[in-house]
A = this chain, B = another copy of it.
Amino acid sequence: MRAMKNYLLTIAYDGSGFHGWQRQPRERTVQRYLEQTFSRLFGQEILLNGTSRTDAGVHALGQRASFHADIRIPIGRLARVMNNALCGREEGSFALSPVRILEAREVPEEFHARFDARGKRYFYRIRPSRDIDVFRRSYVYHVEDDLNAGAMDRAAKMLIGTHEFKSFEASGGTPRESTVRTITDARVYAGVESCSDEIIFDVSGDGFLYNMVRIITGTLVEIGRGNRRPEEMAEILEGRDRTLAGHTAPPYGLYLAEVFYGQQTGLG
């Protein structure tokens, strides 16, 4: 008789070679890559419930996914066994996997990585420089202008609170009941704080609309360039119209950093 348990994974991935998280028939996606590898590894069909359907090219430092399976491997060894299976399964020339299981834990039977999520944190990396760094081309948004990080930070802080975010939603996403979201923290930092030549936009909230972080980032870049005033951020929110906001920043500067769960799950 099968003894099904429920597992929760914390996953990091370099999204540059993937067509996003979500399983698709003929595309190389993170979910499909993991499900195929783990189904072979455990000799049973593994279906993952991922927290966030990251777009093609978007990265993750703390994606989460839960799944039910009958696995006899001690929980303390599970992540290592999974990572060993991922290494060497790559199609490219090098064996190291673009996806890594950072943690595996057992969770209550009814836990679901997406439905139980209470919030997420993203960050977005921007590099203001005319000299494109080829090694960061898939990891950072190169903007060939000076950017005023202070103005960007003032604008970002106007997003904190519960607002109607219709102006920052792209069409084409899953239909949502409401476009009201609560941003719990938003800031832009650079220089010594970012420990690099990059500007970081760091944002946490209870949920994000389709392309919301990327549209906010594009708007912040336009504010950083001086083409818009920081105060416009509040006006764009109030306008509830996508055409008021800035351009959609490219996917490759975006990182899903953390997923928050309620206290009752013990996952913080």
The chain A residues found within 8 Å of chain B, CB to CB, are 12-14, 16, 56-57, 59, 83, 93-94, 96-100, 102, 131-132, 134-135, 137-139, 142, 250, 252
List the B side residues contacting A14 at CB < 8 Å. 134-135, 137
A135 (CB) vs chain B CBs: closest residue: B14
Closest CB in chain B relative to A79 CB, distance in Å: 11
**Contact of A94 with B59 in the complex, beta carbons under 8 Å:** no
**Contact of A57 with B134 in the complex, beta carbons under 8 Å:** no
Q: Mind listing 23 A-B residue pairs with CB under 8 Å?
A: A12-B134, A14-B134, A14-B137, A56-B93, A57-B93, A57-B94, A59-B135, A83-B132, A94-B137, A94-B250, A94-B252, A96-B132, A96-B134, A96-B137, A96-B142, A97-B132, A97-B137, A98-B134, A98-B137, A100-B132, A100-B134, A102-B131, A135-B139
A87 (CB) vs chain B CBs: closest residue: B132
What separation, in Å, do the CA atoms of A39 and B138 have in the docked complex? 27
Closest CB in chain B relative to A237 CB, distance in Å: 30
Q: Top 5 nearest A-B pairs by Cβ distance?
A: A96-B137, A14-B134, A100-B134, A12-B134, A14-B135
**Contact of B135 with A94 in the complex, beta carbons under 8 Å:** no
List the B side residues contacting A142 at CB < 8 Å. 96
Closest CB in chain B relative to A38 CB, distance in Å: 17
List the B side residues contacting A94 at CB < 8 Å. 16, 57, 137-138, 250, 252
**Contact of B13 with A134 in the complex, beta carbons under 8 Å:** yes
What separation, in Å, do the CA atoms of A250 and B97 have in the docked complex? 15
A195 (CB) vs chain B CBs: closest residue: B195
A60 (CB) vs chain B CBs: closest residue: B134
Closest CB in chain B relative to A23 CB, distance in Å: 18
Closest CB in chain B relative to A194 CB, distance in Å: 14
Given contacts A96-B132, A97-B137, A98-B137, 9 further A-B contacts (CB under 8 A): A14-B135, A16-B94, A57-B94, A59-B135, A83-B132, A94-B138, A96-B142, A100-B132, A135-B139
What separation, in Å, do the CA atoms of A12 and B99 have in the docked complex? 27
